[in-house]
């Protein structure tokens, strides 16, 4: 394994539904290798983070009003 370009392995668990969803999305691309697909998604897919701190605070205040 020392001569491998990728010598670190990452494993994770999924549900049957998640596995089926991954397979459906893989069918849209020209790859049959799940490792290549997962690597591509993990490295190249754009991640959008939305800060919902203010929404959570407003929701907390609304719940407090509802308890009065």
Residue 3 has what pLDDT?
A: 83
Q: Are 37 and 22 in contact (CB under 8 A)?
A: yes
Cα–Cα distance measured from residue 10 to residue 50, given in angstroms and rounded to the nearest whole number? 27
Per-residue confidence (pLDDT) for residue 1, from 0 to 100 = 59
Confidence of residue 53 (pLDDT cuts 50, 70, 90): confident
Q: At what angle do helices 34-44 and 16-26 cross, to 10 degrees?
A: 90
Q: Convert the pLDDT of each residue in 11-48 to its tens digit.
A: 999 999 999 999 999 999 898 999 999 999 999 999 89
- CA distance linking residue 22 with residue 31, whole number of Å: 12
In this structure, of 1-5, 10-14, 42-46, 57-61, the range with the lowest mean pLDDT score is 1-5
């Amino acid at each position: 394994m020392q001569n491998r370009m990728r010598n670190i392995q990452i494993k994770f668990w999924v549900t049957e539904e998640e596995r089926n969803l991954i397979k459906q999305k893989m069918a849209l691309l020209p790859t049959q290798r799940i490792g290549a697909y997962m690597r591509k998604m993990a490295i190249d897919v754009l991640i959008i983070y939305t800060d919902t701190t203010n929404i959570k605070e407003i929701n907390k205040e609304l719940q407090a009003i509802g308890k009065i």
